[in-house]
Homo-oligomer: A and B are copies of this chain.
Amino acid sequence: MEKYYISYNQIHTIMKNLSCEIRESGFEPDYIVAIGTGGFIPARMIKTFINRPILTVGIAYYDLNDNIMDTPHIIQWIDEPQVKLEGKKILLVDEVDDSRATIGYCLEKLLTHNPQEIAVTVVHNKKKEKRGSIPPEIKKYFAGETMDDKWICYPWDADDICEHDINCKY
């Protein structure tokens, strides 16, 4: 599969532009919820432009040996007594909407907290058949780049970041 390299600075600029788009849509979140670990870096970038507390949720479909598991394993969730999401507006952030399985799973689970509204934002949305789905309650979806199904090489996964940047197109 064709590889697509993207740098930290490119993602930073995408998150800045997405933040503008989110603000212009009239959506004002109470909380940013980052899906770990892919959403951590994009979510922290967004926080500079939309200054709201970040909560994180950790979901893994892979074990430590990179074997795929049938059911997702929850690494961390939101502690209800500590934070009440009921009636709140949530901006859910992940790096990529690939099969949509993780995002769909998180949305279903977040909806059980009875938030007022959830908007989804991702750096990349891949144009491909999706295994997961976005529940009908979710009306706002923001993608930085909509692209064909390539192998996206994120900077945080790079062993040598200088070599990685040489492979970035623009």
Contact = CB atoms under 8 A, between A and B. Distances in A.
| A-B CB proximity, top 3 nearest | A8-B8, A12-B161, A56-B56
Contacts of A159: 16, 48
Interface stretch (A35-43, A100-108, A138-146): A35-43
Interface string A89-130: 000000000000000000000000000000000000000000
27 contacts: A7-B8, A8-B8, A8-B155, A9-B161, A9-B165, A12-B155, A12-B156, A34-B40, A37-B54, A40-B40, A40-B41, A40-B43, A40-B54, A40-B56, A41-B41, A41-B44, A48-B157, A48-B158, A51-B64, A53-B75, A55-B58, A55-B75, A55-B76, A56-B56, A76-B78, A76-B79, A77-B82
Contacts of A75: 53-55, 83
Given A9-B162, A75-B55, A79-B77, A37 B41 contact: no
Contact of A54 (B58, B74, B155, B161): B58
Contacts of A79: 76-77, 79
A44 B45 CA distance: 13
Interface of A: 7-9, 12-13, 16, 34, 36-37, 40-41, 43-45, 47-48, 51-56, 58, 60, 64, 74-79, 82-83, 155-159, 161-162, 165
A16 B156 CA distance: 11
Nearest to A49: B159
A45 B37 CA distance: 10
Given A43-B40, A75-B83, A155-B12, A53 B48 contact: no
